[in-house]
Amino acid sequence: MSPQADATEPATVSHVACRSAWAKLIAKVYETDPLVCPRCGSEMRPIAVITDPAEVRTILSHLVKIGRSPPGLDASTLN
């Protein structure tokens, strides 16, 4: 196999490296560590990623209903 063939192979990055890179990027942009609990300061770890728009709307609607909507959320956009 030639060196050029290796260059076309997709690079694989470990889960730990991806998580670390994501956290560093968010920390740089927002000047806060997204993996540290703002209440107690302990380390948090993501357990799920929700990408279905209908499911996200359902969760946000529930948060609006109980009075805990995210800052800056316009509730009228959920209907």
* Total residues belonging to the chain: 79
- 7 occurs within a structural domain: no
Cβ atoms of 32 and 23 within 8 Å: the answer is: no
- 8 occurs within a structural domain: no
Residue 17 shares a structural domain with residue 42: yes
Q: What confidence tens digit (pLDDT) does each residue in 59-75 have?
A: 999 999 999 988 888 88
- 76 occurs within a structural domain: yes
User: What's the CA dihedral at 66, 68, 71, 77 to 10 degrees?
Assistant: -20
Residue 18 shares a structural domain with residue 42: yes
d(CA 25, CA 27): 5
- 33 occurs within a structural domain: yes
Q: What confidence tens digit (pLDDT) does each residue in 34-56 have?
A: 788 888 999 888 888 899 999 99
Residue 53 shares a structural domain with residue 31: no
How many structural domains are present in the chain? 2
- 3 occurs within a structural domain: no
Task: Name the nearest CA neighbour of 45 among 7, 15, 10, 9.
Answer: 15
- 71 occurs within a structural domain: yes
